[in-house]
Structure 1
Amino acid sequence: MLRITLEQWRMFRAVVEHGGFNQAAQKIYKSQSSIHNSVGKIEAALGVKLFTIAGRKTVITEAGEMMLRRANYLLDEAAKIEAIGQTLSEGIESKLRIAVDEIFPQALLYKVLNNTSAMYPLLRIELYESILTGANELLENTSADIAISGFTGKTGFSEELCNIEFTAVAHPEHALHSIPRPITLEDLKSHRQIVLRDSASYNKQDGGWLGADQRWTVSHMRTSIDMISNGLGFAWLPSTAITSQLADNRLKPLNLSHNCKRSAMLHLLFKDSDRLGPAARTFIGELRYQVMQADLDC
């Protein structure tokens, strides 16, 4: 049987956190004598000295430091057990699966995920990064609960979420930039285009202009950006994904005669709102809010 209660460990930790018995008593609304008594019981039960008095200061001992590390783990685990019990009683889902097209701004996505996790710290989030119809396929085969896609869903809920702008770019030393007039689509056909492969397994779609005779097809947006930054081709890339590359002159917008800017609408998709738990609804609400704050021309 345990000789020390969780409450006694909490009082011990409070003394350390607040710098003394009197300060801890004021912060956790316990009497100073009860905190002294709890710490004394721990010391008596374990046969160690947790604190010494140096002048007017309460100083933790080396043994106290070791016990504090263990106590922190014990108290944190106890808090997790209580949180899990509350989660189960409230019907909060333990896992949330989200499929997101890679053109969606990463910084904004990270903020949404972090804010959702702050409200549901025990929620396990599984993120599927997809291209073109990949997110739709994951939603259709129930591998994802929520999707952000450039294509509307065949069934279920579909809402226009935001408009993503694309800029035609190449490395500053790419041959296309040496053309002394606005670049035409005919000019582009003579140069290598970097395109993204649809991540879906079936019913794949092509995206963007595919008129170049030379074409490299890659599976991830980051690969495309890296290749073009190294002078290996050109592409229309999401403007939000290449701000740093444009700023440090690794990429330069192409002087096209027309269509130098393009855009694509992203959609928020899910199958059945009644099947979404509190965490999923929080994610959706946070997503809408952050998109609105970012003013992505929705």
Structure 2
Amino acid sequence: MLKITLEQWRMFKAVVDFGGFNQASAGVHKSQSSIHNAVQKIEHALDVKLFRIEGRKTLLTEAGKLMLRRVDSLLDEAARVEAVGITLAEGVESRLRIAVDEIFPQHLLYKVLDKVSGEFPLLHIELIESVLSGSTELLENAEVDIAISPFPVSGMFSEELCDIEFLGVASPDHLLHSSEKTISFEQLKSHRQIVVRDSAHGKNHDQGWLDAEQRWTVSHMKTSIEMIKSGFGFAWLPVPLIEHELLTGKLKPLTLNNGLKRTAKLHLLFDDGDLLGPAARTFLGELRYQCMYLATSDETLK
């Protein structure tokens, strides 16, 4: 039998979070005496002193600091257990929030979403398209349930999903295609490069920048593709997004002496699998199936 209840640990945490017993009383809407009693019961049960008073300040002792690290994990896990229970009680979720990097093949994504909607017609799907670390930031901030991102997140479930090939391209009329000789990276730097900005707040990553003397930075991959088709610059673009342009000759691979192709790995990310409902699990299963089909197709083409 546990000597200390979760409620008592919550009162201890409240004193820390609000900076004192009086402040905690106002913050959690409980009497100061009940908070004092909860902390005293912990101290008596464990035979440790959790706080010390210096003037008007309530400070943690060394033992209190150690216990706080453990209590944070304990209360987080308790919240997860409650959330799982709520998920089980509610059955099928009413909403599924997904963040997807723009380089993921759209035709595969649409197939997955159509499959999920077919099985769960009342499900509201929210799709957020992002660039670079945008998906991981949304997941870390609990703004989405599932993310597809080039970057894994420590402390969360992360699974390698698929590889996306990038190709250095420009418009067929671009000056870079005027010579039959191969192009070096130094020669590329004298031409305008179109790069895509990281959609995460506070990030300053640009996708594939080559330190070109002139660059245009845009927020979306589709904008980059349109600019390059119009002859305004060059870039490395994800092959799944430009297959039609390559087939119709609207985009042409650069004749580089090396580094024409690049590869980016996409990861499937979510925080806690136990919190995912039936619709989310169906999405994951269909997504993995479609990506397995993509990998098989790529191997066949090689």
Regarding TM over 0.5, the answer is: yes
Matches of 1:213 and 1:88, distance apart in 2: 56
AA in 1 matched with 2:167: T
Mapped contact 2:169–2:252 kept (Cα < 8 A): yes
Deviations 1:91-119 (A, max 9, x none): 11000000000000000100000001101
AA in 1 matched with 2:260: C
1:232 aligned partner: 232
- 1:133 corresponds to 2:150: no
Compared CA separation, residues 170 and 215, structure 1 to 2 (3 A): same
Q: CA deviation at 1:257?
A: 0.4
Task: Choose 1 or 2 for highest CA Rg.
Answer: 1
AA in 2 matched with 1:286: E
Deviations 1:204-225 (A, max 9, x none): 4333233211100001111000
1:168 aligned partner: 168
State the aligned residue count. 212
Matches of 1:123 and 1:204, distance apart in 2: 35
SS in 1 for 2:235: strand
Q: CA deviation at 1:202?
A: 2.2
1:249 aligned partner: 249
1:10 aligned partner: none
SS in 2 for 1:295: helix
Provide the TM-score with structure 1 as the length reference.
0.69
Mapped contact 2:192–2:214 kept (Cα < 8 A): yes
Query: 1:201-240 alignment to 2 at 5 Å?
Result: 201-240=201-240
Q: CA deviation at 1:193?
A: 0.4
Mapped contact 1:133–1:204 kept (Cα < 8 A): no
SS in 2 for 1:182: coil
Q: CA deviation at 1:88?
A: 9.6
The answer for unaligned runs of 5 or more in structure 2 is 1-86
2:146 aligned partner: 146
Q: CA deviation at 1:249?
A: 1.2
Q: CA deviation at 1:243?
A: 1.0
SS in 2 for 1:107: helix
Q: CA deviation at 1:90?
A: 6.1
Q: CA deviation at 1:179?
A: 2.5
Deviates more, 1:275-284 or 1:172-181: 172-181
SS in 1 for 2:103: coil
Q: CA deviation at 1:277?
A: 0.6
The answer for unaligned runs of 5 or more in structure 1 is 1-86
Q: CA deviation at 1:181?
A: 1.0
AA in 2 matched with 1:260: L
Mapped contact 2:195–2:206 kept (Cα < 8 A): no
AA in 2 matched with 1:165: E
1:75 aligned partner: none
SS in 1 for 2:153: coil
Mapped contact 2:172–2:249 kept (Cα < 8 A): yes
